[in-house]
Each structure stands twice: as C-alpha cells, then as structure tokens.
Structure 1
C-alpha cells in the first residue's frame, strides 16, 4: 500500500474494536498455538484472550526486522517521516477505539487519563518524525575534514510496561524508526491488547518488518535480551527486572536503555503557597492510581503547616470517585493487576500492623470486585517505614513532616532510586537551589510531570541507565560514527 493510500485510509472513522487480536510479524498478522487471558482490572474477570507467541515466532519477527532494516535505514529521514506521519494518521482514526480498549485492559479513567495518553502518543510520533540528527563537522582544515554521523543500530527490542502501555511503547517506536532502525515490541502480558492493536494498524501503513508486536509469556523477554540480532534493548519496568536485562544483554554487548523504578520525593518549602498546590500534588501522587514511575511517592511538608496541609489534601481526595474508568464521573481507577493488588495490600497491612496514623482510606472493600485500592493518606509515618522506603505504585500517599531543609534533602536522597523529584516554593531561586541538590535524573520546580520530545528524561542511581527523549535520547538509537576525509588537491 502506498503512503498516499494509507493517508486516505487513515481519514476514515474506525469503529470500536472487539478483537480478535493477532501478532504482527513481518508485515503479516499471525495467530499463535497458545493464548492467555487478559483481565479487566475493574472487574477482575477475563476481558479477552491474547496470542502467546512461541520462540520461533519471535525469531521470525526479529529476522523480518533485520531484513527490513536494510532498506528502511537507507530511505532517508524525509521518506521515513512520511511513513510515520501516515502511521500517526492511522492511529488518530482509531483514537476512540484505542482509548476505550486502554481503559478496559489497564483501568485508567477514560477522559482524564486514557484519551490523553493516546492523544499524546499520536502527537509524539508527529513531533519526533520532524526531528533530525544532523551531520556534525568536528574539525576542518585545508587538508581534511572530520564528520560525526549518527547511523542506525539495527533491530531494536522494546519491552514495555503495563502502566502506560500505549504511550511508553510509542515513545520508543518513534525515535527508533525515524533514526532508521526497525523494532520488535514485547508488551506486558498484563496489557498486551492495545499494543497488539496498534501493531495491527501499523501493518497497513509501514513496510513489512519495520514494526512487529509479539505478545507472550516470560520466556520471550530473556530471549530478546540475549538475541544476537537485536542491537539494542529499550526497557521500561522494575529495577529488579532491569538488572536481569543488563546481565542478559552483556553476552552480546548490545546497547541498553533502562527506565526503571523510583521513589520520588516532593519537597514543599516553608514559604510555599501550599493551599493552592494541593490539587497538583494530589494528582502528581494519585494520577493513574499512583502507577507511574515518576509519581510522587513521598510528600515532605514543613511542620509549621503540616496538619493543615493533611486536612486540605484529605478534603480534596474525598471529592474524587473511585471506580470503573468508563464511568465519566470516575477520577481514580483500579490498580492494574492481581499481582500488584496483592503487593499493595502488604503496604496497607504493614501500615495497620505498625499503628501509623491513617487520615483517609486504608481499608480494601473485600466484597468489591476488581482491584480497587482506595486513596489512602498516611499522616507522618517514620522515615524507616515500608511506605516511605519502598515504591508503592498505588494511590497511597505518605505526608511527612520536616523541620530543616538540609535534613529533608538528605532524607530525600537516602534512597537507592533517583528517577524524579519536585520542589515547591514561592522563592523560585531557593526552590531551584534545593532541586539542584536532589540526586535524580529529572526534577520539577513548582510544576510536575511536564514532558516533551526535546526534554531529556532518564534515571540516576538504580532508577535507570541512559536517556529517553531529547536529542540525547534520540542519539542513543544510533551509533556515533566518525568519518575522517582527506581533501583532494584537485
């Protein structure tokens, strides 16, 4: 199909999709001998069945990607931009369908989380498609010139998570493809449906083998990370799994970019206009039911207004509705899967067993179907408590009192993680000074979760390796190749 035909097809309005779901391998849609259940977290019941690819099918996808790389890498930025624009148009035609499917398999509210995720992913593709990595003249004399080129690596293996299954996957797809690579995606088995669907859509727009999506069980990930024909792994997930990725990838010396866990601290300065920022802090912590790596996991508030802040935070939280994301009044959905639900309950059990003060929530309704954790506010738990030291990945917020800036910075940094953080205060210069002391890959001052295609994003310490986004992130999908040219005297 030509790009022009793809563009015309993309302008048609797509109906809501209800399966079946296929693997995308080498431009073809494929079934699998086995399948697995995908659950709706709002009900705890099976939603659909996804194909479980075997190792041979994964090998086929990698081989097709390697073949496609030969031509895809040679057609140039402008032609690749046309393809990516056509892909964005095709996704836009399926926008409502993808957003609804995202709610059903992930649980997030439709209007406030799912639709914005799909919209941002489509916009991201368009913006990245317009970016270029130019040839840099490093040195030039009368006799020679030194050029720095950024050439594509080859086949990229993407392993994507369940908290933002559309956005975090397409964040990888766009820079990988525009720089001339091909890609094979393995989505989380908890949320494979949206990825399978956008993979299916891609086959009508992109050349065969450029983008394949292969869902399956836990054996696929280690096979990808060790595969000699995959040049790079781009992984988003837990720190524990990230360490396995590094070990496996070392055997073939492949490149890795890892975006891992976090225990992000928000520090509200003594001079902060704290009443006005309660909503921002609430959603910074509780948005997506707390299931984001850069979510606020620890909220430090100055003792002079700590009690009043907790009251205001709780009052705001009480106005939110917990429930099925398809309900337009719902603002907080379930956690995504049974495994995470049970893990979160261990936090609640520990809070209760140790007698910490719970200002809101804390109790799971045993008669309610689905994986619902109520918004829970823990009032000033000790620094060594489980809820402060570990990443909860749930709508549980510890609000901790502090007295001294130096002390709170030390406490914020006393973590093996260093993904993000935020500082809030009227005196911007003082807040920035505190932000610069935080040991993180990203830090916000008087805002939260601002992202952009030209804004580098990456983790410090055990929160990651490498960078996504920005020119730095795009360059990590390439090989820096130095070309030294002797000038002809003729």
Structure 2
C-alpha cells in the first residue's frame, strides 16, 4: 500500500513533497508519505476554523454517532491498520493488533460520557448551571511509539466536546494515521478532522498559530517545553503528556519469580518504548543478586526480530536516532555498571536491541538519571527503604511508579511517599480509558483520559439565573 494522502477540509490531497518512511526492521523504505507545506498546514487550520461553528452547534448525540461511525471503520479495517503499524513502528503484529483494538476501546469509552449541564444551585433566589463549551480548533500532536492509540487519547474527546481537529502524526510513523484519514474522509464533515503529516518544521507553526485554541501534545519533556512556550504566544490551552523515568521499588516481601516476570514485561513491552514503562528498579540487597539473575534469564530467552515474523516478542527500536542514543547509553553503562550477558545492540540491518539488564550501576549514571525509552533496564540495590524512596523521587520526572510487595499495607505506605501521577502496587502500566492520567513535575501538564480528560477539551461556563422578584 503506497497511496497515502493528507486529509484537508474533507479532501484527500497530495503533499507538497514526500518523505520516506523506513521499516525499522530493515532500515529500508517501506513507503513514501506526503509531507505538507506550511501553506497546506495553514489550509488545514483555516478549514478547521471554518468547520468549527457547524460542528459546535451539532447536537451531542449526532457528534457521538459520527464518532461511533469512526469506531466501526477502524474495526472493519483492523488488519490493514495493524500491518501498517508494524511496518512503520516495528512492534510485533500481535502487539499492533492489540493497539488497534485498544484504540477502538478508547474511542468507545468517550462515547459513553456526557457533557450535560450540571446544576449546582436551584433555590428560591438562584438557579446555577455549570456548562462545558468547546474551545475551537485543537492541534493534536502524536509521537511514534503508539501512533493510533495515542490519537485515541485526544481525537474522540476533542470531537465529542465540539472541537475541530488538526492532527499531526510523527514524521517516522505517519502511515497508519494517514490511512485512517483516508478511511474516515467521507464519514466526518469537511474540516472537522484534518490530518497533516510532514517534517518537524510543521510543529512550531501549528503550536504558535493564533487559529489554534488548544494543543494536546505527547512527546519528550524538552519538546513539551517548546510547545508550551509556543502556545503561550496566544495563550492556547495545553495538555502535555511528557517524559518519564518510572521507578519500581521492591520491598523485602515479594514473590521473586512472579515479580521478575511482571517487571520484565512492564519494562520491555514495545521494546521499552513506552512513556510509563519501568525505567529503573530498586531492590533490597538480600534478594538483589537472585532478582537480577531472574531478569537476565528472561532477557536471554526473549525472541527479538521483525514484527511480521511469527513468534517474535520484541521488534526493533523505531528509528535510527533513538537506536544510536541507546547505543551511547549502553556504552556508558558498560563503564558505570555491569551489563549482564545476552543484551545490547544486534549487528546487521534494522534497529534491533535485545532486552538488556544492567546491575551494580552508579545512581548518577546516564542510564539511571535519563529516560532511556528503550530496552535497557538498570537495577539498583538498596539497604534501607528510606534510601530507596529517596532515590526513586530523585528525578525531574513524575509520570508513574510502582511498589511491589506481598504486604499491601507496607506497599500503600510507600506509594503515599512517591511523587508521581500514578502509583501502581504489584503491577505497572495498567491503564484503562476511564482512569485519568497526569504527570507530576516535568512529566506533563493537564489530564488525559477519564471524564477529566474529556473536560480538558472544554471551557467552563457558569450560567447564573436570578429568581428574585
């Protein structure tokens, strides 16, 4: 499939030029994607603003019906969308199919919500309602690790709230999103959803544009700072879901084998390219060596390869820049710690990096301090619980964390002391569309998912009626 187009004002149009999209399993071109010019991006923003009044005034039930139609379209094309995800992102085909299924679930969840006015007071003197109005045009900027799922965090909520959308996929993973645009082009009123792919030069134009009333961005903390500064030029609302360096703390009472299996899965899913993946593990010294050994055993058994090959558990890293960065972190870890056998970059075509366990590593090493966003996991021993909590909190990030213990009371006590938007106990990366997520510190701003996530796409309006004679 090589027929990809931008979606602007209800029309499928060619880009100003094309950019190659590489298959990370081979390093070769999988397809050419359209790259919009700044003028085409302007057209998309103009179309979204023109369509806003009509979409805003469309009854909520009709907006919901169109979102449900989008869900039906995604479900009817799950196979081809999954294959495109694997080709451009690298994840195994089963994981890609899981992403498409989750995308459907997240879209569907938002259709169960309501934006009916909330009566706050109704007495002899006044009647007060809290209403939620749409904002206008929303810029939705999507990263390369979960192209469709993270669009589902933004697109259905924005549409149901009455906003119109300009959606920009990552330059390295535009294919599935563009194909979705082709599929829904006739199902959504012109200008309500616009999908514009292209290079990184489009982002600043989009976020600083006075025609954009909200920016919903998922990506790195450093880019998030630039997005926030850019949106501030016209005081557009922002929701920022940014980087994380999620700690996992094991207490002295754990089921070692079960915990090792769960932590391994939570650290290395999608080859570690998950914002809320476990990025560092703190383990009591008495069980440190056996726990490291258990993780290393699972790493050695991992099946890494092309996501289109049956039986593959872990695909490649998505792009060359991230692959090179991981190799730098790996080289630094070899100097600052002990890299356990079986991990590291794989020679040959593609961006393959085996799950890698690093023990006895300094707490100030790059692998511990930075967000690796890849399949390298540092494991650090501690002697006192206070030390572990202090190390876990010693970060600029605060996206999520987890505590592991068979003593739930002790685990809750530790969870209460961790600075993070989400703290799991005896699990990690458990996410549901009805549960709001929000990062602490430099891991983000605003809320996604849940009813709170829907409200992020609205303007509160208080209507206050006097009943006085």
Q: Which runs of 5+ in 2 are unaligned?
A: none
Within the candidate set 392, 400, 403, 1:420 is matched to 400
SS in structure 1 at match of 2:222: helix
Tell me if structure 1 keeps the 8 A contact 2:299–2:343. Answer: no
Q: Displacement, 1:204?
A: 2.0
Tell me how far apart the structure 1 counterparts of residues 414 and 88 of structure 2 sit (CA, whole Å): 40
Q: Deviations over 1:429-474 (max 9, x none)?
A: 1101111111101111112212122201010000001110112111
1:108 corresponding residue in structure 2: 91
1:365 corresponding residue in structure 2: 346
1:271 corresponding residue in structure 2: 253
Tell me how far apart the structure 1 counterparts of residues 49 and 247 of structure 2 sit (CA, whole Å): 42
SS in structure 2 at match of 1:133: coil
Tell me if structure 1 keeps the 8 A contact 2:110–2:454. Answer: no
Matches within 5 A, 1:265-414: 265-354=247-336, 356-366=337-347, 368-414=348-394
Tell me how far apart the structure 2 counterparts of residues 257 and 26 of structure 1 sit (CA, whole Å): 25
C-alpha root-mean-square deviation of aligned residues, in Å? 1.1
Q: Deviations over 1:94-148 (max 9, x none)?
A: 100000110000000111x211100000111112112113312222221221111
SS in structure 2 at match of 1:304: helix
Tell me how far apart the structure 2 counterparts of residues 58 and 64 of structure 1 sit (CA, whole Å): 10
Tell me if structure 2 keeps the 8 A contact 1:202–1:211. Answer: no
Are 1:90 and 2:73 matched, yes or no? yes
Within the candidate set 409, 419, 436, 1:439 is matched to 419
Tell me how far apart the structure 1 counterparts of residues 18 and 322 of structure 2 sit (CA, whole Å): 22
Larger mean CA deviation between 468-477 and 153-162 belongs to 468-477
Tell me how far apart the structure 1 counterparts of residues 289 and 201 of structure 2 sit (CA, whole Å): 49
Within the candidate set 7, 12, 25, 1:42 is matched to 25
Tell me how far apart the structure 1 counterparts of residues 423 and 360 of structure 2 sit (CA, whole Å): 23
1:6 corresponding residue in structure 2: none
2:243 corresponding residue in structure 1: 261
Tell me if structure 2 keeps the 8 A contact 1:31–1:51. Answer: yes
1:3 corresponding residue in structure 2: none
Tell me if structure 2 keeps the 8 A contact 1:148–1:482. Answer: yes
Tell me how far apart the structure 2 counterparts of residues 398 and 194 of structure 1 sit (CA, whole Å): 33
1:10 corresponding residue in structure 2: none
Tell me how far apart the structure 1 counterparts of residues 411 and 344 of structure 2 sit (CA, whole Å): 36
1:15 corresponding residue in structure 2: none
Q: Displacement, 1:488?
A: 7.3
Matches within 5 A, 1:40-189: 40-111=23-94, 113-189=95-171
Q: Displacement, 1:265?
A: 0.1
SS in structure 1 at match of 2:120: strand
SS in structure 2 at match of 1:360: coil
Q: Deviations over 1:227-255 (max 9, x none)?
A: 11110000000000000011111110000
Q: Which runs of 5+ in 1 are unaligned?
A: 1-17
Tell me how far apart the structure 1 counterparts of residues 344 and 223 of structure 2 sit (CA, whole Å): 30
Are 1:225 and 2:207 matched, yes or no? yes
| TM-score w.r.t. length of structure 1 | 0.94
Moved over 4 A (4+): none
Tell me if structure 2 keeps the 8 A contact 1:35–1:52. Answer: yes
SS in structure 2 at match of 1:257: strand
Q: Displacement, 1:362?
A: 4.4
Are 1:458 and 2:458 matched, yes or no? no
Matches within 5 A, 1:475-490: 475-487=455-467
SS in structure 1 at match of 2:170: coil
Tell me if structure 2 keeps the 8 A contact 1:360–1:378. Answer: no
Tell me how far apart the structure 1 counterparts of residues 353 and 213 of structure 2 sit (CA, whole Å): 40
| TM-score w.r.t. length of structure 2 | 0.98
Tell me if structure 1 keeps the 8 A contact 2:142–2:150. Answer: yes
